[in-house]
Structure 1
Amino acid sequence: MSRLSSEWLKHLPFQNVSEISSVSGGDINEAYSIVADNKEYFMKVQPNKGKQFFEHEVEGINKLSERCLTPQIVTYGEIDGDGYLIQNWLDLSHIGDQNKLGKLLANVHHEIGSNFGLNHNFDLGKIPKNNHWQDSWSSFFIDQRLAPLIQRAIDQGLINNNELDKFNNVINSFKIDMKSHKSVPSILHGDLWSGNFSFVNGEPILIDPDVFYGDREFDIGVSTVFGGFNSEFYESYNQNFPLDEGWQHRIKYYQLYYLTAHLVMFGQMYLPSVISILDQF
């Protein structure tokens, strides 16, 4: 918090910032509670990456807000090269009805696009995302999600030739499985782990999206990696938007993607989990 000097705070679009304190906000951004003009807000700051760092998140929240509850954006901008995003403060709880959460995600996924991808890339995160439009989910997922991660893992010395051979087995298996599965481009949250949903006054809310149009089994697969989603969630989702037969097998590809992303971002501690999935192919 020391980086946010009184001079820095003066540039925020408020008359007076009377209180500021650090809060938990994930691994990517600095996060704060601020009281400004007698109202409490939540503020995220990304040092040295400018306003454009938050443009992707703002677009994602705006897209999701058409189909589910999301945080309300007050403004975002840049001060001395630092990007910031300000939202209305919400009293979040991780305890709530996961039947409602399953129904909410199904409603999000019912928004269908014409192709897989998004109208812009996101290059400012820890793992740049190539969102170039594709008419094939198999091509999009392999070429623009999994393969770039594998290359980063190689470049960082995190996987050996044996593990690379196993990744190639996964890619071949994925191509085969996609021939018998019809992928439809749903709008995805894109980072659906348990830290990115909550409840406000008993109603589920999605936060911190990394949206693109993809196979909805991607979100489902990611949701299973670190827990936090219970059986009621999956049952409710399937009641509202049934998954195709074989989904329990296919989500392993997205579990592997998500764990490989964590391997690249956070190191060797995730390698055993990656290998445990590789060994299933």
Structure 2
Amino acid sequence: MKLLRWGPIGQEKPAIMDAQGIARDLSGLVPDIAGPVLSDTGLEMLRGLDAASLPRIPDGARMGPCVGQTGKVICIGLNYSDHAAETGAPVPLEPITFMKATSALCGPNDPIIVPRGSEKTDWEVELAIIVGTTARYVPESDALSFIAGYAVANDVSERAWQMEHSGQWTKGKSSDNFGQVGPWLVTRDEVPDPQALRLWLSVNDVRMQDGSTSTMVYGAAFLISYLSRFFTLHPGDIIMTGTPPGVGLGMKPPQFLKPGDVVELGITGLGQQRQDVIADDRP
């Protein structure tokens, strides 16, 4: 089952894809793709609907982040062995964990906004885990059952702010539109093995990243179990699980995004994104 959200920024409505791949409006049936809707009970209720009988969403409607009311975005750094190698960093003995501000989240085709003063805005295709059930001290053997589904994410990063300034990585990860998530939340029953997915990303039609979740150092089940030891995971929380090699920082010489570029990315079975890169000209 594929769930999505559509409409203007801050006014997104819930929707579901029918068997023919047509997006159907869920307004009036559920308040959002969030909270109890993400539980096994909520998802089972949605599966029982006759989706084809629901109104179609308007053609060309904007797609928002595929999950709403996200309380926190937890990111995992250097979680691909081949990505760690390209950056010259050792494979971490435990997951490197940092937060991305929820205000960075946006729709899958919303632009990447290069912040004022940025010279090193970079791309990162990632598998996003969407938490469906409150998780606390979860054993790894049960961890996947706490997941509502998975989505494509672009963990956009400003490398100078992330790595060349003192302090934590958060400030290099949290600018507006540094977190495209979607187009859909694909429920976990349609992803039998989250460690067998191909990820790719292109800039201006040139393939930069082409990897597999099979090279993740710490997989989805481990991450749910590990993170739930330190803080409670709530429905709608997003875990961005790291990126394969091919980021701009790892190139020789490094290559970063500039206004006018076009970024496209996707994950097998989870859909694709497309983003124009623009300058931040807001007051």
TM-score (norm: length of structure 2):
0.26
Greater strand fraction, Structure 1 or Structure 2 = 2
Asked which structure has the greater CA Rg, the reply is 1
Greater helix fraction, Structure 1 or Structure 2 = 1
Of structures 1 and 2, the one scoring higher in RCO (CA 8 A, sep 6+) is 2
